[in-house]
Amino acid sequence: MFALFLLLQAAAPDIVVTGERLVEEQAKCARGECTPLGDAQATIALAEQQFRSGEYVHAKGLLAAAISRNKDKGADAPHAVAAIYEAMATVSLHEGDQDDYRRAVAGQVKTLCDNLPADDVAVQASATALGDMWIKLGRYRQAESTFRGIEKQALAEGQAYPAMMAGMKRAWLAGALGKMREARAMLDALEQRQIAQEPGFRTALRVVRLRLAVRAGDEAEITRLAGTIAADKDTPPILIWQPPYPSDAIAEANNNARAFGGVDVLPVRSSDVASIQWVDVGFWVRPDGRIEEAEILRGSRSPAWAPAILKQVEGRRYVAKANLGEEDAPGSYRIERVTRKNRYETPLGSNIRRRISAASFEVLDLTASEAATPPPGE
């Protein structure tokens, strides 16, 4: 579920347990009896169990307390402390608290950058996290400025990896905002860099260019690029295209009205509180990149939007597998958590900040941590 948590498991897997032992281990950490690493492992593991069960608020409370215990220990255990912040950011985003999400991402990045060398893999991987955060919050101009600053600084310092990551994010964002000529020019420049010849980046650049072609409806370019991209059998499926997610009509109308300086079409009342609604979707990505057997595995009580999510998943297209062999015949099975997006707001006539519905959905790939999580009862 959380990328840095998987690194922590590899560092000391004997600390991560499940069931009653996990609750007991985490309780010790809450009393200050654990190292930062042990606290991160036990608390994130328990928070992940609660998240999977839809108990977002409880998971957030666990992680917030762990941050309070460990926020001053970044110098001693930067990876562990950053992992707690990352977990907090993930849960806060799905629960709808954008302020907590923003603070957690900033805490994660600051912890890593202040306490690790610039060439550390965790620092480089987190380089674009702030820009990604602004995209999630719908602040695209600030996201572009962040990516541009990261790319410029990384190039000046000779850090090719974060510079390329930020550059590709800028190109993708320009395309998403309809600036196709600018996006293609960025990709042309990125492809001239030496690091662009590495297999991973070569494929990533082609995927970005293919997604731009799909957005522009350029059938000839789509056909040409599709033939140049093939996913390695050891990598997760690479998404080429997907239909839009269903949206909440009222929330979307309110968002559009605000964008043009208007008032909400249907204002939030002082008594409104949005519930947390979620589903886990399981599906097969076949070797040809098409989706089969998409189904709702579990979720909150009967969300009316679940059938529309299945249609969205079924309409996706992934990169076809390269060098197809017998072991690839079934394809790749994926599990995604889809949460109806919420946000926090203080409505007119109230002084209480509360969770309300927003347009669209938050999506989290559970597949990697699903494989790393022991079955219940072990």
**CATH code for position 143:** 1.25.40
Which of 171, 195, 229 terminates a domain? The answer is 229
Which tens digits make up the pLDDT trace of 216-249? 887 888 878 877 776 655 677 888 888 988 876 5
Q: Is the pLDDT of residue 376 over 50?
A: no
- Sorting pLDDT into bands at 50, 70 and 90, what band is 119? confident
Whole-angstrom distance, CA of residue 252 vs CA of residue 127: 31
Report the pLDDT averaged over residues 342-371.
80
The CA R_g of the chain, rounded to the nearest whole Å, is 21
User: 134 and 110 share a domain?
Assistant: no
User: 145 and 268 share a domain?
Assistant: no
Range of the domain at 5: 1-116
Which of 62, 87, 116 terminates a domain? The answer is 116
- Sorting pLDDT into bands at 50, 70 and 90, what band is 300? very high
Q: Is the pLDDT of residue 7 over 70?
A: no
Please state the domain count of the chain.
3
User: 297 and 257 share a domain?
Assistant: yes
Report the pLDDT averaged over residues 263-267.
53
Convert 217-230 to b/e letters by CB count within 10 Å (16 or more is b). Answer: eeeebbeebbeebb
- Sorting pLDDT into bands at 50, 70 and 90, what band is 356? confident
Task: Supply the pLDDT for residue 270.
Answer: 47
Whole-angstrom distance, CA of residue 354 vs CA of residue 305: 22
In a domain, 121, yes or no: no
Which tens digits make up the pLDDT trace of 177-222? 999 999 999 999 999 999 999 988 998 999 899 888 888 887 888 8
Task: Supply the pLDDT for residue 192.
Answer: 96
Contact 183, 171 (CB under 8 A): yes
Tell me the two tokens of residue 251: 């929330």
Q: Is the pLDDT of residue 344 over 70?
A: yes
Report the pLDDT averaged over residues 366-374.
55
For 18-27, 37-46, 190-199, which range has the lowest pLDDT when averaged over its residues? 18-27
Domain harbouring 352, CATH code: 3.30.1150
Task: Supply the pLDDT for residue 124.
Answer: 85
Task: Supply the pLDDT for residue 8.
Answer: 52
Whole-angstrom distance, CA of residue 63 vs CA of residue 182: 41
- Is the Cα dihedral 183, 121, 241, 246 positive or negative? negative
User: 21 and 82 share a domain?
Assistant: yes
Return the higher-pLDDT residue of 250 and 348. 348
Task: Supply the pLDDT for residue 230.
Answer: 67
- Is the Cα dihedral 151, 156, 161, 164 positive or negative? positive
Report the pLDDT averaged over residues 32-36.
95
- Sorting pLDDT into bands at 50, 70 and 90, what band is 128? very high
Task: Supply the pLDDT for residue 276.
Answer: 92
Which of 61, 84, 116 terminates a domain? The answer is 116
Task: Supply the pLDDT for residue 167.
Answer: 97
Task: Supply the pLDDT for residue 326.
Answer: 54
pTM: 0.84
- Sorting pLDDT into bands at 50, 70 and 90, what band is 16? very low
- Sorting pLDDT into bands at 50, 70 and 90, what band is 62? very high
In a domain, 37, yes or no: yes
Q: How far apart are the first and last CA of the chain?
A: 19
In a domain, 239, yes or no: no
Closest to 108 in 3D by CA, of 150, 136, 79, 135? 79
Task: Supply the pLDDT for residue 121.
Answer: 84
User: 283 and 349 share a domain?
Assistant: yes
Contacts of 368 (CB under 8 A, 6+ apart): 1, 6, 236
